[in-house]
């Protein structure tokens, strides 16, 4: 396995990320060494929150929440998934299977021997983290998650599967704007429920899957600033044009946030994780089907306190909460706080308060 490592110089001068890096070396099944980064902030004797991010971000997503949580006496451990942030980045598409990612982060967890954890995961942080909990539950005392789930779709119509695969392999050229238009129409749908061929959410999510994979130099900083910051369409267009021209580093339209999310990826070769992972979301039966079923069966009978914390205004995940509450009968639902998909950044105070109350209750 070929592995890339982002030089430290690319992380210099990132605003509002003063945290000391902690590195753990793990071995993959083929014996390759991968270095996983995490931050560990707050009182050593405080209750511990394990906070996991998704695609296409890294632990920087929690930078606004960590001071609030620390002030409340909570120790925060936030890793970078393999392929993101300061963690190493395998270079091949096939490296980023769902199972590999669960195995990598489970090995990281075991090697650090973290225990008595309250978990919070969003996006891929939830897909990976909930599987980690199901296979090693004794390390966790509470579970919280939002804008994510454990998709399980054993009965997706074959017509939908064929249409998605044909679309992914087509020559259609997508832009961030055309993808956003399609994804917004997922409002009220669910990646976790079987739908008819006409309305199945896979037929909208496939736009994000295709765009990420087909775009070799994925505009990660641009994508994240467009989702997390209020900016005019003119400014966003300017930033995107500079990216397409290969002039991202001198773009006058970049913000501190977009620079932070570009930092882990010196060039396109480092972006295989963000490009490959959307196609691993199990929106129809694949190699992860049995593992998803087993994990869901665990949560169906688990007595670990479980809190569902959804934004309520995220088109991709709006309706998944109903499936989560069905999957985990002991789960409670927190009030929706808005803020879109990455509400860790846009609603840090509100989300932190919910988690603080959950941890201390």
Catalytic residues: 123, 314, 341
For 340-361, give the secondary structure using H, E and C.
CCCHHHHCHHHHHHHHHHHHHC
CA 109 – CA 95 distance, rounded (Å): 20
Angle at 142 between CA 140 and CA 143, to 5 degrees: 95
* Beta carbons of 337 and 352 less than 8 angstroms apart: no
Residue 337: name the closest of 357, 315, 356, 309 by CA.
309
Q: Is the dihedral of CA 223, 50, 149, 332 positive or negative?
A: negative
CA 34 – CA 88 distance, rounded (Å): 6
CA 313 – CA 309 distance, rounded (Å): 12
Angle at 317 between CA 311 and CA 321, to 5 degrees: 75
C-beta neighbour count of 147 within 10 angstroms: 26
* Beta carbons of 124 and 288 less than 8 angstroms apart: no
CA 235 – CA 310 distance, rounded (Å): 30
CA 182 – CA 179 distance, rounded (Å): 5
Q: Residue 336 is encoded by which pair of tokens?
A: 């929706």
Residue 186: name the closest of 346, 345, 307, 341 by CA.
341
């Amino acid at each position: 396995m070929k592995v890339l490592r982002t030089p430290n110089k690319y992380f210099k001068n990132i605003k509002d990320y003063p945290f000391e890096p902690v590195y753990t070396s793990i071995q993959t099944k083929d014996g390759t060494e991968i270095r996983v980064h995490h931050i560990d902030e707050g009182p050593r004797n405080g209750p511990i929150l394990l906070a996991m991010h998704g695609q296409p971000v890294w632990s920087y997503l929690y930078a606004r929440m960590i001071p609030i949580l620390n002030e409340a006496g909570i120790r925060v451990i936030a890793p970078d998934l393999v392929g993101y942030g300061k963690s190493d980045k395998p270079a091949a598409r096939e490296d980023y299977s769902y199972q590999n990612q669960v195995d990598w982060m489970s090995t990281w967890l075991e090697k650090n021997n973290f225990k008595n954890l309250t978990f919070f995961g969003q996006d891929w942080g939830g897909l990976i983290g909930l599987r980690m909990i199901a296979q090693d539950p004794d390390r966790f005392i509470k579970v919280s998650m939002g804008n994510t789930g454990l998709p399980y779709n054993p009965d997706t119509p074959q017509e939908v599967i064929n249409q998605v695969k044909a679309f992914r392999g087509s020559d259609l050229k997508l832009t961030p704007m055309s993808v956003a238009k399609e994804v917004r129409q997922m409002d009220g749908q669910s990646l976790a429920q079987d739908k008819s061929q006409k309305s199945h959410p896979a037929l909208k999510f496939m736009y994000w899957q295709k765009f990420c994979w087909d775009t070799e130099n994925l505009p990660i900083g641009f994508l994240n600033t467009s989702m997390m910051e209020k900016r005019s369409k003119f400014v966003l267009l300017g930033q995107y044009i500079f990216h397409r021209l290969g002039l991202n580093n001198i773009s006058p339209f970049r913000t501190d946030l977009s620079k932070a999310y570009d930092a882990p990826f010196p060039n396109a070769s480092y972006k295989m994780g963000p490009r490959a992972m959307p196609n691993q979301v199990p929106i129809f039966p694949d190699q992860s089907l049995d593992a998803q079923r087993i994990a869901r069966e665990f949560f169906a009978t688990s007595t670990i306190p479980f809190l569902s914390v959804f934004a309520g205004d995220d088109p991709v995940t709006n309706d998944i909460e109903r499936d989560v509450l069905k999957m985990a009968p002991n789960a409670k639902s927190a009030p929706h706080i808005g803020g879109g998909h990455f509400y860790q950044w846009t609603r840090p105070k509100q989300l932190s308060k919910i988690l603080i109350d959950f941890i201390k209750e």
